[in-house]
C-alpha cells in the first residue's frame, strides 16, 4: 500500500476531524515512516542513491534507515538515447540537474568501460532512463559521533581509518568535512514504489494493521495536547492498547515472512545441534 493511499483512507475514516482541519498530512506521513522503523531488516531492502553535498550537508531519501556503504565520487558524464533527448529536456528536474549545472557532460555508454571504477546511477525523467556515471570512488570514513547502530552489520565504512574525507549521518541528513561533492550510498530502507516509500504487504498483513493503530495513537495524542476532551482521551487509550498488542504480532509476522527454505533448514540444523548437545550431556541408559 502506498503512503498516499493510507493517508486517503485515514482521512476518509476520520472525516469529521478532517473537515475540521485537524488532520495534518505531513505528520501522518512522518508517523507512517516512524511506525515501520522498529521492524528493521524484517522489511527493509537494500537500495542505492547518489546525494549531492552542498555547504557540507546533503538530504537523504525519506526511506533511509541504515548505512551499508558510502563513497565520495566525481561526476564522469551522463548518457541518454538520442531519440529521448527532447522528452527529458521537457522535465523541470532535468533542467535543474543537468542544463543549469557545469559538472555534467554527455558521454557515450562506453565510459562505463574505463579502467577506473565507474558507479552508474539510473534516474528517470518522464519515464525515460538516464545513466549518470561517477568515477574515482573513495570509501568514506565515519565521524566519531556517528552512531554505529545506524550502520548495517556489514557496513564497509566501519573499518575505514585513514581517509581524509569524513561523514556523519544524523536522522535524514548527511554531514561532511568537505564543502561540496557527490556521495554514492547503498543503504537499507523502506521499500519504494515509483520513487515513493510504501507500506510493504508482507505475511498476513499484521504490519499494515500495526501502522494504522500507531498512526491513530499519535494522532489522538497530538489532539490531546490541544484539547482535553473525554472522547479523545478514550480513543487515545484505546489505540495505545491496540498498538501495544499489535506490535508483537507484526514483528512475528514480518520476521517469518523473511524466512526462506534455506532459512528453515538452518533453523532445523540449529535445533538438531541443540538436541544432540542435550543428549550427549544426559545420555539415555
pLDDT tens-digit map of 104-140: 666 766 554 555 578 888 888 777 788 888 888 999 9
- Mean pLDDT over 89-107 rounds to 63
- Give the three cell numbers for residue 31: 508517523
What is the pLDDT at residue 122? 81
d(CA 50, CA 71): 9
**Residues 43-60, mean pLDDT to the nearest whole number:** 93
* Contact by Cβ (8 Å): 163, 138: yes
- Its pTM surpasses 0.85: no
The three-state secondary structure class of 144 is coil
CA nearest neighbour of 47 among 29, 75, 67, 30:
67
Instruction: Quote the pLDDT of residue 263.
Output: 43
pLDDT band for position 100 (50/70/90)? low
Rounded Cα–Cα distance for residues 28 and 64 (Å): 18
Report the half-sphere exposure of 183 (CA within 13 A, side-chain side): 34
Mean pLDDT over the full length of the chain: 84
Query: Would you say residue 95 has pLDDT above 70?
Result: no
Quick one: average pLDDT of 66-83?
A: 87
SS3 call for 132: strand
Amino acid at each position: 500500500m502506498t503512503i498516499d493511499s493510507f493517508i486517503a483512507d485515514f482521512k476518509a475514516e476520520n472525516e469529521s476531524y478532517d473537515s475540521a482541519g485537524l488532520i495534518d498530512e505531513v505528520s501522518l506521513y512522518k508517523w507512517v515512516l516512524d511506525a515501520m522503523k522498529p521492524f528493521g531488516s524484517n522489511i527493509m531492502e537494500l537500495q542505492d542513491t547518489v546525494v549531492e553535498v552542498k555547504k557540507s550537508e546533503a538530504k537523504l531519501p525519506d526511506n533511509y534507515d541504515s548505512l551499508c556503504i558510502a563513497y565520495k565520487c566525481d561526476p564522469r558524464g551522463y548518457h541518454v538515447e538520442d531519440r529521448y533527448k527532447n522528452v527529458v529536456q521537457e522535465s523541470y528536474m532535468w533542467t535543474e540537474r543537468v542544463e543549469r549545472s557545469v559538472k555534467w557532460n554527455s558521454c557515450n555508454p562506453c565510459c562505463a568501460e574505463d579502467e577506473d571504477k565507474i558507479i552508474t546511477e539510473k534516474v528517470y525523467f518522464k519515464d525515460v532512463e538516464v545513466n549518470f556515471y561517477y568515477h574515482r570512488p573513495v570509501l568514506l570514513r565515519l565521524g566519531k559521533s556517528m552512531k554505529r547502530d545506524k550502520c548495517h552489520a556489514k557496513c564497509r565504512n566501519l573499518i575505514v581509518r585513514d581517509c581524509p574525507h569524513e561523514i556523519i549521518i544524523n536522522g535524514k541528513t548527511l554531514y561532511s568535512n568537505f564543502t561540496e561533492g557527490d556521495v554514492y550510498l547503498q543503504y537499507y530502507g523502506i521499500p519504494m514504489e515509483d520513487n515513493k516509500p510504501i507500506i510493504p504487504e508482507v505475511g498476513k498483513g499484521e504490519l499494515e494493521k500495526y501502522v494504522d493503530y500507531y498512526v491513530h495513537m499519535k494522532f489522538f495524542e497530538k489532539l490531546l495536547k490541544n484539547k482535553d476532551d473525554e472522547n479523545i482521551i478514550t480513543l487515545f487509550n484505546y489505540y495505545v492498547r491496540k498498538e501495544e498488542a499489535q506490535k508483537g504480532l507484526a514483528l512475528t509476522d514480518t520476521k517469518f515472512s523473511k524466512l526462506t527454505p534455506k532459512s528453515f533448514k538452518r533453523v532445523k540444523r540449529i535445533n538438531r545441534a541443540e538436541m544432540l548437545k542435550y543428549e550427549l550431556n544426559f545420555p539415555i541408559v
